[in-house]
Chain A
């Protein structure tokens, strides 16, 4: 299933954008391709809303206790994953929030254009996010990289794509 992934900085600026498609499977139709950033941008509202909820009623129903706010005390970053936060027609949007307020957002599209909402397998998606988060932190440690600036490193890109291949576009 094709995915559109972006890391959004503090000023709603995309730091990194990528589209994960599988040549054998369906790709984003061109008109949707254009719309993807808009959909992502719009769902940031919800992400920011969920960010401050102590007891999010929805989103990550992944067994974690409490929302993102609770995750400060917990040792692992499992609470960063907010699960499915939004959907738009057949597209599902999942979100992940880093402690530095970087928003990792992804649009999942179904394999077919049936318009059926995509079912998200939380496990692999969460793993994907966590590993990208790790990559991002490594990028952040680069002294030549400044916070909130676009990540242009081809290494980062290829690593993210490898992760996507492993977890998402199976």
Chain B
């Protein structure tokens, strides 16, 4: 706090406050603070002195300004400056006494002994001690602090008189001459202004001043009192220096008017003798005196020397800026000391009243001169301006300028130290009369930039600190945060390499404070881990990283482990992307881990360390029961429905997103006491190895699941390589039942041996624009699981099948037994559900139905339904299998309709324990018992053929038909079905074939032989609507894509289908082998019969697709030559046919030779006919047309009909002509 400068510093009495006795630091500082508040002692309050020079009554408006310090800084460095700049000396010493055992006088002497340099020693007691109230011993207990300050002031003034007396006869030397090399010369980077303009101006000035310097000397009364006579130039110079120092004394003593005069006189002399350094100093003193006088509202005349060296127009208060200086009520009184009036010069240089002067401009103007003279002095070997003097002057004036900028008037805080006052935003004073208008921020900045022409680095540390802190404060007042931060950074950087441990320790708090401000100024105080906005914001990473590194170095210098750690963590967390591998490793090892033992609350800094967590079942473990809802199968139907409805978007992945949540909600289930494997995924975004040293569940999770005792110890420490993700697998076991489900959200993780802390499972990073109520950066994942208690355990013991394999003949049935056992000792399986699947079903793809035409689909599904419902039947299904007991089940296996590729089937038993109180669900397991079947062919139908039956079939012994059969048959409507049945087995078989009304006698088929069966069947009814009856669909809820078949194709398919269905419906064939077991069974025609061909359909189904049907009939099949045969043709119309048209049609009879198949010409020698072969008929009336034929030759003939020469009749009429006997 004492490091900054203020403009009026040369007017302040440097005072050291030391503790005497026992003090706590805080209490001592509190007392010092009280003193600092009362730093000002008005001369009017001080008891008068006899000394004429420093008698307070000489200038009662004046003040004594104390500058209280608690440290002695740079005494030896400043020692050489004491003669030059007097105020640097510590004049007053105040000992604050508390619980001191020594007698006051003794303590005072000790103090004087210890601090011989000070000229006035004082003791202030804060105790209730009856101390003898000697001159230098004060008691704060009895009198107020203000009084004590005044007393101290009086003591000081007294001592100052004595001190000054010793100065009277000393030859004053410049600091450069005294200190030699130990005084750092001002190191200007640019060339000092020795060039044309300055020298010429100074020459001009000196010329112009020649006259009045002499006059001023003559007029000076005090010169005579000093005993100085105008002699040689050296003497004159020495005198002027004395005069200047005297001004400094007066300034300290608060007699500002005198000080101004002294400075002015000294300056004019020094100017004459080109003693630049002292001249500069005198001018500075002059400026300060004027400022203080203005502050005290004492009107004064600006010394003529000032107006001589500074152009008047630069500081004259013009119309726009008036009102700053003349503000005192005393102005009218115009109390001017006689000396003042005497010194007022009546020559060319006009007397300028202080009212007419814009003081800030004047001070600036003088300051420019001061700097100029200092710079000019640099060419001299010994008489040069020390750098600290130069710097401090700049700082003081800059301080004053910034003070002006932030204040509208000179206020009391002008006297205070800069660090203590807060720049008040006095925006209320909008009137023109403001100090603010004098200097712009830019100007102030420009002025301070002069410092950067110096080699500040070469100065000693204390001075550097002083310069930089003052500069930073100035920028702070200007609200130049970035500049301030920059200067602070330079300061810290310059502090860094020094081993100035004690000064760092003293100002440790200050530095921390400063570092915090610095970090804030560069925008480091953000938290991208928590806020998305922060993470997305761009910032100047280089600066921030650099500053943080600096902060770390500072803290480590101060041996502040806590801070080192804190900053290093910040750096690692936020700027890891800007750090090199080496830097990251160093930070981790040296800054964080090194202090982790001593510093509390260090947890791992990456909140996203845990990227995944889940538990998987070990493969070799028992089947874990799945939760099954025991209600109705409704939901199952729905899923099937969904999969079979055409979804045009499925290929585009739309359904994937829609069906996603389903998989996400599934919670894993584990058995109580089961060992499972936990998979943890860690991320390491850093460039060093991440070592996981501790893993544990949170308390709420621990009761359900925990790591196996030794596993964690064995697996840890676990290393995650730099910039990578790694997974660790750990065995866990479940210790408590969870009925619904348990959710793991976080895990305790310890890294690098640091204190373990809970970390959430972070599945993904949240993006900036995602709208979400949560403010966190990550999307948190969870792991849900359920722990269920012990369940029944069924085991398949055996079956009556050898090795679960059986060879079976097609079309047979079998009954076998299986034995099951519940191995569980405690749980009975009271929920049992039996089902089975065969290889036929499993081999089908899910969408088998899509590509199949409807007739094939009907076949396939008919078979599937049969397999599901009839193939396997378990007879005595129990309700419950008690714990530790066995049951025997009887299974009927029917393979009469099983396809040839039926090879194996599984009996599936879903079982579980169903708690009585809760019937909605049970945890079920599945036991699958596989069986293999080898199917052997028994009887096969190798071919099927249908032939028309054109004429009555002779029944006879050799005939395949019996007489009774033929009787049943109407040969007009009949047809013959030729079936070849083959016995593929090694035994002879007795076969009995049935078809509708017909049934054959049992016949024997020897092994490996084929026999043809002729079965008379009736043609199908014409009224049967072939084309309009759809092929039935056995499974509903499907969506078919149009097959693309034409209408005719559809009709043909339907006709084929129904034709086959009717045949299959009629045909039945039982067989029995002549073996020991008398194996018997049935032939499944559906397996053997392919689709019927078009010819069969034509035969069986006479209703062709024609608009007209012609039925020809003849009364006899055989006639003799010469007899007349009367054929009748009847035309009927099919009104449903699209080509049907009303009107007459032409009917033609066609005659063929049956043997040759050739048509007979219209006139021939074999058949004679009566009338015409062509007739016009109306088909709607249904009138028969007759044709009489007289054969004149033997042979076999065929008569057909043709309508409109396009439609032929289905069946011709045959007749045979025999010779007449």
The reply to whether the CB of B538 lies closer than 8 angstroms to some CB of chain A is: yes
Within 8 A of A (CB), among B272-315: none
Mind listing 29 A-B residue pairs with CB under 8 Å?
A11-B538, A12-B482, A14-B540, A15-B538, A37-B542, A38-B486, A38-B489, A38-B543, A42-B483, A42-B486, A44-B482, A45-B445, A45-B478, A45-B482, A46-B480, A46-B483, A49-B440, A49-B441, A49-B480, A53-B442, A57-B440, A57-B443, A86-B445, A87-B449, A88-B449, A88-B452, A115-B190, A148-B538, A149-B538
B546 interface contact, C-beta 8 A: yes
B487 contact set on A, CB distance < 8 A: 42
Interfacial chain B residues near A89, Cβ < 8 Å: 189, 452-453
- Report A93-144 residues with CB < 8 Å from chain B CB: 114-117
Q: Which residues of A contact B327 (CB under 8 A)?
A: none
Q: Provide the residues of chain A in CB contact with B440, threshold 8 Å.
A: 49, 53, 57
A146-161: CB near B (< 8 Å → 1, else 0) gives 0011100000000000
Contact: A58 with B446, CB < 8 Å?
A: yes
Chain A, Cβ-Cβ closest to B536: A149
Q: Is residue A77 within 8 Å, beta carbon to beta carbon, of the partner chain?
A: no
Are B537 and A11 in contact (CB-based, < 8 A)? yes
Q: What chain A residues lie within 8 Å of B485 (beta carbons)? A: 41-42
Beta-carbon contact of A42 and B190 below 8 Å? no
Asked if B1030 is an interface residue, CB under 8 A from chain A, the answer is no
The verdict on B606 contacting chain A, using a C-beta distance below 8 Å, is no
Q: Is A13 an interface residue (CB 8 A)?
A: yes
A12 in contact with B539 (CB, 8 Å):
yes
Contact across chains for B452 and A58 when beta carbons are under 8 A apart:
no
Q: Would B189 and A115 count as touching, CB distance under 8 A?
A: yes
In the bound complex, how far is the Cα of B72 from the Cα of A30, in angstroms?
38
- CB atoms of B537 and A13 under 8 A apart: yes
> Is A45 a contact of B539 with CB atoms below 8 Å?
no
What 8 A-B pairs have minimum CB-CB distances, sorted nearest first?
Answer: A115-B189, A42-B486, A45-B480, A13-B538, A45-B482, A49-B441, A42-B483, A45-B483
Q: From known contacts A34-B546, A42-B485, infer whether A12 and B540 are also in contact, taking CB-CB under 8 Å.
A: yes
B838 vs chain A, min Cβ distance (A): 61
Residues of A within 8 A of B449 (CB): 86-88
Q: Is A168 an interface residue (CB 8 A)?
A: no
Inter-chain contacts of A69 with B (CB < 8 A): none
Q: State the Cβ distance, B320 to closest chain A Cβ, in Å.
A: 13
* Chain B stretch 479-505: residues in CB contact (< 8 A) with chain A: 480-483, 485-487, 489
Q: Which of B486-539 contact A (CB under 8 A)?
A: 486-487, 489, 522-523, 537-539
A9 interface hit (Cβ, 8 Å): yes
A56 within 8 A of B: yes
Interface presence of A66 (CB below 8 A): no
Contacting residues, chain A, for B445 (C-beta < 8 A)? 45-46, 49, 86
Q: Are A41 and B482 in contact (CB under 8 A)?
A: yes
Would you call A56 and B442 a contact (CB within 8 A)?
yes
Interface residue A80 (Cβ < 8 Å from any Cβ of B)? no
Given the known inter-chain contacts A58-B442, A88-B452, A89-B453, please indicate yes or no for A38 contacting B539, CB distance below 8 A.
no
List A contacts of B523 (CB < 8 A): 12
Distance A9 CA – B542 CA, assembled complex (angstroms): 15
Which residues of chain A are near B452, meaning CB under 8 Å?
Answer: 87-89
B483: chain A residues at CB < 8 Å are 42-43, 45-46
Query: Min CB distance, A144 to chain B, in Å?
Result: 16
Shortest beta-carbon distance from A71 to chain B in Å = 18
Chain B residues with CB under 8 Å of A49's CB are 440-442, 445, 480
CB distance from B519 to the nearest CB of A (A): 14
CB-nearest residue of chain A to B487 = A42
**B190 proximity list for chain A (CB < 8 A):** 115-117
Number of interface residues of B (CB under 8 A): 30
Q: Which residues of B contact A56 (CB under 8 A)?
A: 442
Report Cα–Cα, A15/B538, bound state, in Å: 9
Question: B485: shortest Cβ distance to chain A, in Å?
Answer: 7
Q: Which B residues touch A11, using CB under 8 A? A: 537-539
Cβ of A164 under 8 Å from chain B: no
Is A45 in contact with B481, judged by CB distance below 8 angstroms? Answer: yes
A37→B485 CA distance, assembly (Å) = 13
| B441: chain A residues within 8 A (beta carbon) | 46, 49
Which residues of B, 48-74, contact A by the 8 Å Cβ criterion?
A: none
Q: Would you give the 0/1 interface string for B118-141, flagging 1 where the beta carbon is closer than 8 Å to chain A? A: 000000000000000000000000
Seed contacts A11-B539, A45-B475, A45-B478; 9 additional CB < 8 Å A-B pairs: A11-B538, A12-B523, A37-B543, A38-B489, A46-B441, A46-B442, A49-B440, A53-B442, A150-B538
User: CA of A41 to CA of B482 in the docked complex: distance in angstroms?
Assistant: 6
CB distance from A68 to the nearest CB of B (A): 13
User: Does A39 belong to the interface (CB within 8 Å)?
Assistant: yes
Please, how many angstroms separate the alpha-carbon atoms of A57 and B440 in the complex? 8
A98 to B539, alpha carbons, bound, how many Å? 20
CB within 8 Å of A: which B1037-1061 residues: none
- Give, as a whole number of angstroms, the nearest-CB distance from B960 to chain A: 90
Distance to closest chain A CB from B843 (angstroms): 54
> Which residues of chain A come closer than 8 Å to B522, judged between CB atoms?
41
A50 lies within 8 A of chain B by Cβ: yes
Q: Which residues of B contact A116 (CB under 8 A)?
A: 189-190
Residues of the B chain whose Cβ atoms lie less than 8 Å from the Cβ of A53: 440, 442
**CA distance in complex: A116, B489 (Å):** 24
Cβ contacts under 8 Å, A34 to chain B = 546
Assembled-state Cα–Cα distance A89/B453 (Å)? 5
Minimum distance in angstroms from A69 CB to a CB of chain B: 14
Please tell me if the beta carbons of A42 and B482 are within 8 angstroms of each other in the complex. yes
A13 closest partner in B (C-beta): B538
State the Cβ distance, B195 to closest chain A Cβ, in Å: 14
Residues of A within 8 A of B540 (CB): 12-14, 37, 41
A residues near B489, Cβ cutoff 8 Å: 38
Given the complex, which residues of A lie within 8 Å of B482, measured CB to CB?
12, 41-45
A17 to chain B, nearest CB (A): 8
Q: How far is the CB of B767 from chain A (nearest CB, A)?
A: 14
Complex interface bits, A26-37 against B, C-beta within 8 A gives 1, otherwise 0: 000000001001
Q: Please, what's the 1-or-0 string for A71-93, where 1 marks a CB less than 8 Å from any CB in chain B? A: 00000000000000111111000
* CB nearest neighbor in A for B546: A34
> How many Å from the CB of B488 to the closest CB on chain A?
10
Bound CA–CA A114/B1027 (angstroms): 109
By beta carbon, the residue of chain A nearest B539 is A13
Q: A residues within 8 A CB of B538?
A: 9, 11, 13, 15, 148-150
Report A-chain residues with C-beta under 8 Å of the C-beta of B542: 37
Q: How far is the CA of A13 from the CA of B534 in the complex (A)?
A: 13
Which of chain A's residues has its CB closest to B481's CB? A45
Q: Which residue of B lies closest to A15 (CB)?
A: B538
B residues near A38, Cβ cutoff 8 Å: 486, 489, 543, 546
Instruction: Write the chain B residue with the least CB distance to A89.
Output: B452
- Determine the distance from Cα of A12 to Cα of B453 in the docked complex, in whole angstroms: 27
B380: shortest Cβ distance to chain A, in Å? 21
Q: Within 8 Å CB of A15, what residues of B?
A: 538
Closest CB in chain B relative to A16 CB, distance in Å = 11
CB-CB under 8 A from A57, the residues of chain B are 440, 442-443
Residue from B190, B487, B539, B540 whose CB has the most chain A CB atoms within 10 Å: B540
- Nearest B residue to A87, CB-CB: B449
Measured CB to CB, the nearest residue on chain B to A8 is: B540
**Chain B residues positioned under 8 Å from A86 (CB to CB):** 445, 449
Q: Mark A2-24, 1 if CB is under 8 A from B, else 0.
A: 00000001011111000000000
Instruction: Report B-chain residues with C-beta under 8 Å of the C-beta of A39.
Output: 486
